[in-house]
Amino acid sequence: MTKADIINQISKETGIEKVAVQKTIEGFMDVVKDSLEKGNNVYLRGFGSFIVKERAEKTARNISKNTSIIIPAHNIPAFKPSKSFVNRVKNK
């Protein structure tokens, strides 16, 4: 399912114009991105959490050049679904 599919379905189910739904969805995504960028997690009860995970520094191999490189510690965004969400998907 794409963002356009989500917008169409929400618009169809609620009767709200597609443009308004699109602005709302994009606004939601901007708020989530900005919060994660600042290091704040976003919790949505019954759905899940958008969290910032810290990756430790590690040594990797460049196979083509046969050299070692060090990947510095960094943060990545992640999503952790709620238990009710996981159970709903499991039972389908």
pTM higher than 0.85 for the full model?
no
Taking only the tens place, the pLDDT of each residue in 3-22 is 999 999 999 999 999 999 99
Rg (CA), the chain: 19
CA distance 55 to 34: 20
Taking only the tens place, the pLDDT of each residue in 33-44 is 999 999 999 999
What ranges do the domains of the chain cover?
3-90
CA distance 41 to 34: 10
Least Cα distance to 49 among 25, 83, 21, 91 occurs for 83
User: What is the CATH T-level fold of the domain 3-90, as seen in this structure?
Assistant: HU Protein; Chain A (4.10.520)
